[in-house]
Structure formats: structure tokens, C-alpha cells
């Protein structure tokens, strides 16, 4: 076992040292491999030396594609091109993963009509950009006695926004707040 200084171990952890290292050519240290040519034809199980010689003759690299199978699967290909295609596919995966962001709008039970219209426009903007919206009506002190004021505000918002959103979480009392969540309508 190799003992490394603690600061170096932390550095390696922080850098997320590449565990997905792809072995190529002489780095492949198994006796036999399942060989696939650059066309995609399967040659079968051959010794590593023979596979390396075949790759060198063709001017390409022997790349280990599936190290965990028995025997490991290796393909004759241009390693630079393979690495480039992997990077592109990783970028596409990251691009396709969209994060769902929940925007929050806070209201008070005594909000004026014009202020409510401003908040409604803000909610419409969030929904149009594809975000979910959490609407919170905050009560202070004795205002909680008049919960119906908050419910009326939320019902009014639901009625005005019903064609632009879907009600994901019904209005419910959560402590001194009434909360509801709206999700955009996907067409």
C-alpha cells in the first residue's frame, strides 16, 4: 500500500482523480481480450499481444471499452477520435439534464390590487420561462385568524392563471403561511 502525504490525498480527492481511466495499448495487462475491429466486426477472443500487433499494423490504437467483462472487450480504433466523441456525448447529456427551479413569490393577506397584478405578471414570467412557482401568503400575529383572506387571494390567482399553469400543490396552511405550487403547462 502506498502512503501519500495527507495534503496530497486531499488534493487528489478535490480534483476528483479520474477513476474512469481508459486503458489503451500497453496499459492493457490481461492475457486475453475479446477483439472488435474498427468496422465493428467481432474477431473473437485473442491474446493481447496479437491484438496489439493487429492495431499497430493498421496504425490505430487498441482501446479497452469494457474492462469489467470477462474477458475485457477491446476495440481497434483511433483513441483521439474516441475520446473526443466521449466528451461530446458527455456535454450532450449535461445539456439535456434540465434542473427544475422553483421560484418563490411572497404575498401578504392585505395586498392591494395593483400589487397583486404586479406579482401575477412576475408569476406569468416565471411560468413562461419554464420554472415552477411557489406562492406563499405570509400571516403575522393575529392575521392568521382570517385565513380566508389568503385563500381568496390564492383562488383569485388560480382563476386568472388557469390557462397558463397547472396546480401542483393545493393551497394549504403551513404554520403562519399558506403555500401553493404552480407548474407551467407544457404544450
Query: Same domain for 122 and 176?
Result: yes
d(CA 57, CA 168): 62
CATH code for the domain in which residue 55 is found: 3.10.20.80
Instruction: Specify the DSSP class assigned to residue 70.
Output: S
Whether 114 and 171 map to the same domain: the answer is yes
Contact 127, 166 (CB under 8 A): no
Of 94, 113, 142, which residue sits at a domain end? 94
| SS3 assignment, position 37 | coil
Question: What cell was used for 71?
Answer: 474477458
Cell numbers linked to 178 = 399558506
- Which of the listed residues 76, 94, 112 is the one where a domain comes to its end? 94
Q: Which residues contact 7 (CB under 8 A, 6 or more apart)?
A: none
* Count of structural domains within the chain: 2
User: Would you say residue 1 lies in a domain?
Assistant: no
Is the residue at 47 inside a domain? yes
Look at residue 1 in the predicted model and tell me its pLDDT.
Answer: 46
Does the residue 7 lie in any domain? no
Residue 30 has which C-alpha cell?
A: 490481461
Percent of the chain scoring above 90 in pLDDT: 37
Measured between alpha carbons, how far is 40 from 28 in angstroms, rounded to an integer? Answer: 20
Domain holding 152, by residue range, is 102-184
Examine the fold and report which residue of 59, 76, 94 is the final residue of a domain before the chain moves on.
Answer: 94
Confidence band for 2, pLDDT divided at 50, 70 and 90: low
Contact by Cβ (8 Å): 76, 57: no
151 pLDDT above the threshold of 70: yes
- Yes or no: say if 130 and 179 are a contact pair by the CB < 8 Å rule: no
Determine the length of the chain: 187
Handedness of CA 47, 49, 51, 54 (dihedral sign): negative
Q: Which residues pair with 121 in a beta bridge?
A: none
In a domain, 159, yes or no: yes
Tens-place pLDDT, residues 46-104: 888 888 888 888 888 888 888 888 888 988 888 888 889 888 998 888 877 777 789 99
Quick one: 116 and 65 in the same domain?
A: no
In whole angstroms, what is the distance from residue 115 CA to residue 76 CA?
Answer: 67
Amino acid at each position: 500500500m502506498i502512503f501519500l502525504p495527507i495534503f496530497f490525498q486531499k488534493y487528489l480527492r478535490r480534483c476528483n482523480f479520474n477513476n474512469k481511466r481508459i486503458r489503451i495499448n500497453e496499459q492493457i495487462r490481461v492475457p486475453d481480450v475479446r477483439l472488435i475491429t474498427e468496422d465493428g466486426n467481432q474477431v473473437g477472443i485473442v491474446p493481447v499481444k496479437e491484438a496489439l500487433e493487429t492495431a499497430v499494423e493498421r496504425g490505430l490504437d487498441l482501446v479497452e471499452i469494457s474492462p469489467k467483462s470477462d474477458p475485457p472487450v477491446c476495440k481497434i480504433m483511433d483513441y483521439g477520435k474516441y475520446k473526443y466523441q466521449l466528451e461530446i456525448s458527455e456535454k450532450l447529456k449535461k445539456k439535456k439534464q434540465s434542473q427544475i427551479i422553483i421560484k418563490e413569490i411572497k404575498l401578504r393577506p392585505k395586498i392591494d390590487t395593483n400589487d397583486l397584478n404586479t406579482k401575477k405578471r412576475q408569476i406569468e414570467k416565471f411560468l413562461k420561462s419554464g420554472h415552477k412557482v411557489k406562492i406563499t401568503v405570509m400571516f403575522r400575529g393575529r392575521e392568521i385568524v382570517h385565513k380566508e383572506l389568503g385563500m381568496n387571494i390564492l383562488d383569485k390567482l388560480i382563476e386568472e392563471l388557469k390557462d397558463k399553469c397547472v396546480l401542483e400543490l393545493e393551497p394549504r396552511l403551513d404554520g403562519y403561511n399558506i403555500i401553493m405550487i404552480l407548474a407551467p403547462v407544457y404544450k
